[in-house]
Amino acid sequence: MGATVVKIALSGYYGFDNSGDEAVLQSILFALQEQGREQGLQIEPIVLSANPEKTSAMYGVKAYHRMKPGSLFRALRESDGLISGGGSLLQDATSSKTIPYYLAVLKIAQWLGKPTFIYSQGIGPVSRPMFYGWIRSVFQRCAYVSVRDTESAELLGKMRLPRERITVVPDPVMGLPLRGTGSSGGAPDLAPDGLVRTIGMSVRFWNEDRSELEALSQSLQVLLAADANVRLRFLPFHLPSDEVASQFVIDRLGDHGTRVEMVRGIAHPQDMLAQVAECDLLIGMRLHSLIYAASQFVPMVGISYDPKIDQFLHRLGMKAAASTARFDADAFAAEAQRLLGGREAWAASSRAAIEELKAQAQLPAQRIISFYKQRTNK
């Protein structure tokens, strides 16, 4: 007799060419499959995506369009339950429509009698108190609620969701493996008087006046002038906007531009992970660029534009070296220089915390699969 089949719909920011969110999806898919094998269940994911054809081809899963009501209802009716997450889905910083959309998907699933699960979400910022009651109402009907940091748990507590109902776990991308047993690509070329050291760069637009990127450009000029063996590798995480932001910085590096490259055309999150793994240091604004770096024991320098950056760095005992509001170019360059030559020492001091986060990243999938395992045993 074959294993029991469980069809689980997944709702998130999928299909938008954002490497970080695609990594969230890939990580959840891997974790569900692994836990399904361990507990004797066959998991068939159904992904709600902005580009279902691409999602289906990339991950080998069934996918439906997230914004077409007929497709959305079909996906939820076919499923045995819904996972919402991970990522920063319930926040109103980018749009007032984001929270209503993701809560509506959860609510529809609940109306259809489907179990719902919150998977390692980052909650907030939520600046509109009118959303508090709706979030609490929907979450109270979820079979399992997990968030990726204590700050998210505290915010849900302010919304009067009982604390005992909330589990704090790492971001699922901490569990994303490299393809096979190693990273893609070969070893870096040697400079005439030593080994080339590569700094991975993940930047995005934030301030309207681009002041944070101007300051970053000044820091990078200091780094490049101080060490002839340093190279910059720009890694656009959200296409096409991060390519434009990367080029904005590159254009301000003047004569140092010959020691800069931009990696283009990366669609699969594990391919981006491999690029990060080859770096000696990662300078990142995108949250998942920092998570990629941590998972591969690559030292990182964070630039905070959102509390989620600070919250992740705090879990590693670190602080952002700059923010989009306050950016000291000289101090930032000094911090990057300090870490650039100390990957082994940084990895050794951070290993215990990183390994713990990797192990805990499996917990939501474990709990969700156990929920269905118990149902099949009744």
Residues 209 and 336 in one domain: yes
Terminus-to-terminus CA distance in the chain, angstroms?
17
Q: What is the pLDDT of residues 71-103, one digit of tens each?
A: 999 999 999 999 999 899 999 988 889 999 999
In a domain? residue 298: yes
Pair of tokens at residue 25 = 């999806």
Residues 259 and 338 in one domain: yes
Closest to 91 measured CA to CA, from 151, 10, 16: 151
Residues 322 and 209 in one domain: yes
In a domain? residue 185: no
In a domain? residue 175: no
| Mean pLDDT of the 273-302 span | 96
Q: Rounded to two decimals, what is the model's pTM?
A: 0.90
Three-state SS for 130-174 is: HHHHHHHHHHHCCCEEEECCHHHHHHHHHCCCCHHHEEECCCHHH
Q: What is the pLDDT of residues 315-359, one digit of tens each?
A: 999 999 999 999 999 999 999 999 997 878 999 999 999 999 999
* Residue 359 pLDDT: 92
Number of structural domains (the chain) is: 2
Residues 165 and 246 in one domain: no
Q: Could you tell me the pLDDT band of residue 194, with boundaries at 50, 70 and 90? A: low
In a domain? residue 181: no
Q: What is the pLDDT of residues 211-246, one digit of tens each?
A: 999 999 999 999 999 999 999 999 999 999 999 999
Residues 248 and 346 in one domain: yes
Q: What CATH number does residue 161 fall under? A: 3.40.50.2000
Residues 213 and 337 in one domain: yes
In a domain? residue 44: yes
* Residue 189 pLDDT: 38
Q: What is the pLDDT of residues 142-159, one digit of tens each?
A: 999 999 999 999 999 999
Share of the chain above pLDDT 70, in %: 96
Residues 18 and 163 in one domain: yes
For residue 40, the enclosing domain spans 4-169+361-377
* Residue 193 pLDDT: 43
